Structures are given as C-alpha cells and as structure tokens.
Amino acid sequence: MNKVSPNIGQRSGPIRQLEEAAVNRIAAGEVVERPAAAVKELVENALDAGATRIEVAYADGGKTLIRVTDDGCGIAPDDLTLAMARHATSKIDGSDLLDIHTFGFRGEALPSLGAVGRLTITSRAAGHAAAELSVSGGEMGPVRPAALNAGTRVTLRDLFHATPARLKFLRTDRAEAQAITDTVKRLAMAEPFVGFTLRDVSGGGEGRVSFRADPEQGDLFDALQGRLTGILGRAFADNALKIDASREGLRMTGYAALPTYSRGSGVAQYLFVNGRPVRDKMLLGALRAAYADVLSRDRHPAAALFIDCDPRLVDVNVHPAKSEVRFRDPGVARGLVVSGLRHALAEAGHRAASTVAQATLGAMQAEPAAPRVYQMDRPTAHARTAAYQAQAPGFAEMQDAYSARVDPEPATADAGTPMPDAPAASDHPLGTARAQMHENYILAQTADGMVIVDQHAAHERLVYEKLKAQMAQAGVAAQALLIPEIVEMSEAEATRLLDLSHDLSRLGLVLEPFGPGTVAVRETPALLGPCDARALVRDILDELAEQGDSTTVQARLDAILSRVACHGSVRAGRRMQADEMNALLREMEATPLSGQCNHGRPTYVELKLADIERLFGRT
C-alpha cells in the first residue's frame, strides 16, 4: 500500500511566482531573527557609509523601537526607493563576489526590515536636501522632504508586526536588550576609531545611556587596547598579551589573556575576520587548542583576535547573517591562531594574572576595628634597636624556634648595638626566598612586595616543560604492533586521515593505506602503552570533522607527560633548604608558562607592599 506524504497534497497546485512582500518576509526570517540582528545590519550599514559616530536607541528590548543614527555619507533622495528594493546595493557591482571589502553586500537588510516592521529612513547626502521614506509591512510610501543636518537616521518600529508568530519566539525584553548590547560591543571592538552610543528609551524621552565608547586615538594597538579596556574592563587589559603574528598571507592581531585570567565559559571570546565579527567553529577550536596545555577542561580563555587577509582568501557569503566564514585554506588559519597564541604565551614567561593577587587580598578580610588614632612611620634603625631591647627576653627568644626561616635576624641584641638592617630587597622578579610555610609554600621577598609560591605546582610545571622539550628534541618513541589494527571508514575519511599521516608519524602513530576506505595502524606511541588504536583513530576522525585538524595524539602524550611530571616533582610536605628554594624561583623566571601549573592553576601569588599595608591600615 502506497502512503502519501502528509506534507504534500495528493494534487499539487500550479507553480506561481510569490509576491515581493512574501519573498521579503521569508528572507527576513534568515537575516533578522531577533532585534539584535536588526541592530547589527543597521550599524554595519552605518559603518560602510563611513560614519565616525553612531547612536543606537531601542525600546522594550528592540521590539517596539530601534533607531540608528549616523554621520555617514547619506543616501540621495533619488536612491531611497531603490535602496528598499531587494538585492540593491552600492557596495559591490556583482562581478566578483570574493573581492568584498564592506560589511554588507547582499542588499537584503533594508527590504527585509521593511517587510516585517514599520521602517522609516531619513537621510541627507552631500549636495542634496534631506529626504524621508517610510515602509510598513512591505508597503512603500512616497519620498518626502525631511529635516536632517547630515548622515542617516533609520527608525524601525513594531518589529515583526507583519509576522506576529515570530514575536512568540522572542525572549524577554531584558534578554533581547542584552543581546543588542553584546552586538554593539562586538562592532565597537572592530572599529575602535568610531564612537558608539547605546540608549534605552523604553520609558520615553532621552532614556538612559547603557553603553558609550568614544573614538580612540593613537595607532591600531593603542586604540584597540583603549577600546577593549572600556568594553572588557581594566582587568582584561592588565592581564592581556599583545598578539601580532603572520602566516602565508594572513595576519592576526589583538589581545589574549593570560591563562590564569580564565573564565568559566566562552563568553569572553571575540573573533573577527577582516573586521567582521564571526563565530566560527574552526577558529574557536583553534583558540581552545592554543590554551589546551595551560588550562583545565572546565576553564575557557579570554581573547579578542582579529584576522586580516586578502578578501579572496576567505568566503564571507556562507550564511545570510554573515556570521560564518570559510577560509580557502583553513589549516593555515588554524595554524596561525595556535602558533601565534602559543608563542605569545611562551614569551610571557612566568607572568601570572594580577587578579590572582586581588582574589587573595579579597580573602584577607580584616576584622572590624575602632578608628585609627595614630599611625607611626616606618621605624628607623635606632628605633628598631630600642624595640628589640624592650622586647627581650620575650619576642626575641621566639626567633630561635622559628620554623624554616631562611635569613633569621640575630636572636638578641646587645644594648647600644644597632641591629643590622634587613637584607636588601631582591632585584629578581620572584624575589629571594625568606621562609617555607607548612612545608609547601615558599615565601619570597621582592623589591616592592612578597611572593607566595606553591612549590609542588611550580616544580610540576618546570618538570613538565623539560619533558616536553626532551620529547621534541628526541622525538616520540613508537612501538610496532604485532598484528596491525585494521580500521574501516569512508573513503573521504581515509583520505583526510592519510593526509595527516606524516604529522601523526612524528607523534609515534604510523598509518598506512589498506585498500579503499581502510587504514592499517602499524605503530602507536610507546608512551601510551597498550591502547585501543581503533578508538584513537576514531577520535582523530571526529576532531578532523569538527575542527579541520586534530590534536588528539599530542593531547594524550601531553597528558601522560603531565602525570609523570606530577609524580616526579617536589611533593608537598618536603622541607626545602634556602638554596633549593632560590634555585626553584630562578628556574621559574627562566621557564615559559611557569605562572600556572599543568592544570591551569596559578603557581604563585604576588602581593604588593602597598596592598599589604592597606590591609593593616598603614596607608
């Protein structure tokens, strides 16, 4: 018995051309799925028009009002009607869809917005009078004279009034407003020399400014750092590394945070391709891979990265919202992100995030005390002598029993004999060891503060880096399988896997073709011991399908080296001598990535003397 599909009638109707209004409403479902998408399209149009200042106003999360005002080049009155036509644009001529230098190029945004809302465009171009055009539900009105000094003002009211079903899928006003804010901030990062103002006018009138970013000055990096400071906060700027790397026609710039300044989710990851904000799985995977050796799996890096290249090397016409891109050679783009970030992290050396110290100081909450009556200055040498005489035989006697002190003061002081001054502050970044606390934490004195080092975590990273260097120099030993493991897969998967056979062989995984859609595993890394070669190959294939590259073998080898380093490092509870502690500090200063252990936790905390004095009310 033949069943008829419930989605198709038994008798098909005649083929007919859809009306223009229906076509625009269908297109709007792809281009404008929420108010934030409408804001994105309108702001990008303003940037393409050369605007230096852009103001965005919204009401009720953008559902009832979105207004974007700019000081760009404007639209001539004769072009207003054409601007509302589908696939009409001034940004490309259609001869080369790969040579795109603007945000917009499809000519879909304005007619889509006019099809699902009440759209009014007021614009004034140089040498022309201001004019206005209104469109409601796809119905276009006449072009009328208007009052406007320069630029363009686009007002969108009652979004989705022509498609009320779409309103049911929108979130709360607060959630939609947050999405608009995030969209404007991303575009503001891409254009640090342009001023942005975001207003919430839900209550009417001028409303309140929820975000403001004035145009930055200086060169590209100075302007970008200033813009990121205003958007992501001073903490990010203080703990971010400058990124500038190039590879085969691609250049990556921006800032990436230290591993110890990590987040619980990927909310602080911003990627741009030729100035366009994107959310590309391949690039996000590369960012994750670059930090894989210094972050635990439940932590996420923070970064704002900008990849610039010839427009012909990347296809931005992949999705109507233009939020996805496709590189001509994705391996080059991925390699640029991974190598550029790893190089910057290695150059950071032992540096750790300042937020670690801030969190430590925040945990040291002093007990409420009465107002300070008198605060004496730092004692002089003569005052210290008198203090020691007054304390004997009380506090002075306790110094003999002080556990693990490295440079003890003399136990007693004769009358009239000045006490020796404290040892000179160390010029080393991590200072000079002064004591070991609880047989696990090294207390070091720096020129302007103190450093507390977790001896086990620090030595674990040092041993790990040595093991990786030895493996890179001597190579990865491979063990031959007595009986090769035959793994079946599709021919496309086999081709993709064998293309990486050379790189995998350097990691100890030797593969050979074994007929169509079949691969033979001849050798596996010796460090892995007895392993499931079939499962390992499947994991590599899954990673290739998702990210375009695979780090599975390298990650497993690194995990084993990490465990070896953990067992071979200085254990907690071991009492160390002064020379051992100072040698550990010097080695940390000379070893890249020593600011965090193999699991991403900080290896030391640095406290400035001024902060410590503030805890005791000595300021």
The two tokens of residue 272 are 């741009």
More confident residue, 331 or 196: 196
Q: Please count the other Cβ atoms lying within 10 Å of the Cβ belonging to residue 51.
A: 24
pLDDT at 85: 78
The mean-pLDDT minimum among 199-203, 349-353, 522-526 falls in 349-353
C-alpha 391/C-alpha 384 separation (Å) is 10
Over residues 438-450, the pLDDT tens digits come to: 889 999 999 888 9
- Across 588-616, average pLDDT: 86
If you average pLDDT over each of 81-95, 421-435, 509-523, 566-580, which comes out highest? 509-523
Is the confidence at residue 365, as pLDDT, over 60? Answer: no
Share of the chain above pLDDT 90, in %: 38
By the 10 Å C-beta count (0-12 exposed, 13-18 middle, 19+ buried), 343 is classed as middle
Q: Could you give the 3-state DSSP secondary structure of residue 150?
A: coil
CB atoms within 10 A of CB 607: 20
Q: How far apart are CA 46 and CA 33, in angstroms?
A: 20
| pLDDT > 70 fraction of the chain, expressed in percent and rounded | 80
Cβ count near 515 (within 10 Å) = 11
Q: Which residue has the higher pLDDT, 426 or 331?
A: 331
209/215 Cα distance (integer angstroms): 16
- Residue 326, token pair as written in the block: 């496709």
The three-class DSSP label of residue 8 is coil
How do residues 516-559 score in pLDDT, each as one tens digit? 889 999 998 887 778 888 888 888 888 777 766 677 777 777 77
Average pLDDT of the chain to the nearest whole number? 82
3-class DSSP assignment, residue 484: strand
User: Mean pLDDT highest for which of 47-61, 257-271, 569-583?
Assistant: 47-61
Higher pLDDT among residues 86 and 265, named by residue: 265
pLDDT at 29: 61
User: Which structure tokens are listed for 410?
Assistant: 């003399």
pLDDT of res. 547 = 65
Q: Are 119 and 66 in contact (CB under 8 A)?
A: no
pLDDT top residue among 321 and 414: 321
Domains and CATH numbers, the chain: 20-213 (3.30.565.10), 220-316+323-348 (3.30.230.10), 430-619 (3.30.1370.100)
Question: Which pLDDT does position 539 carry in this prediction?
Answer: 85
Task: Name the 3-class secondary structure at 520.
Answer: strand
Q: Does the bond joining 393 to the residue before it have cis omega, within 30 degrees of 0?
A: yes
- Comparing 414 with 553, the larger pLDDT belongs to 553
Query: From CA 23, how far away is CA 573, in angstroms rounded?
Result: 73
pLDDT of residue 68: 96
Tens-place pLDDT, residues 221-272 = 999 999 999 999 999 999 999 999 999 999 999 999 998 888 888 899 999 9
- CB-CB contact of 443 with 436 (8 Å): yes
CA atoms within 13 A on the CB side of 311: 12
- According to the model, what pLDDT value does residue 198 have? 97
More confident residue, 376 or 49: 49
Q: What is the pLDDT of residue 404?
A: 46
Residues 6+ apart with CB under 8 A from 476: 506, 507, 508, 525, 526, 527, 557
- Cα 10 to chain centroid, rounded: 54
Q: Give this prediction's pTM.
A: 0.75
Residue 279, SS3 per DSSP: coil
pLDDT value, residue 556: 74
Question: Looking at residue 388, what is its pLDDT?
Answer: 47
Residue 175 confidence (pLDDT): 94
Segment 156-180 mean pLDDT: 88
| Euclidean distance between CA atoms 142 and 139, whole angstroms | 10
Q: Mean pLDDT throughout 178-194? A: 95
Distance CA 192, CA 256 (A): 17
More confident residue, 284 or 563: 284
Least confident residue range of 117-131, 467-481, 541-555: 541-555
Instruction: Mark 207-222 as b/e (b = at least 16 C-beta within 10 Å).
Output: eeebbebeebeeeeee
What pLDDT shows up at residue 366?
A: 53
- How many of the other CB atoms lie within 10 Å of CB of 74? 25
Query: pLDDT at position 398, please?
Result: 39
> Confidence band (pLDDT; 50, 70, 90) for 412?
very low
Q: Which segment of 48-52, 206-210, 412-416 scores lowest on mean pLDDT?
A: 412-416
Q: Is the pLDDT of residue 24 over 80?
A: no
Q: How far apart are CA 244 and CA 277, in angstroms?
A: 18
Q: What share of the chain is helix, strand, coil (3-state, %, to 5)?
A: 40, 20, 40
Taking a C-beta distance cutoff of 8 angstroms, is the pair 77, 34 a contact? no
In whole angstroms, give the CA distance from residue 456 to residue 427: 24
Token look-up 């909310």 returns 267
Does 225 or 560 have the greater pLDDT score?
225
Whole-number Å distance between alpha carbons of 488 and 504: 18
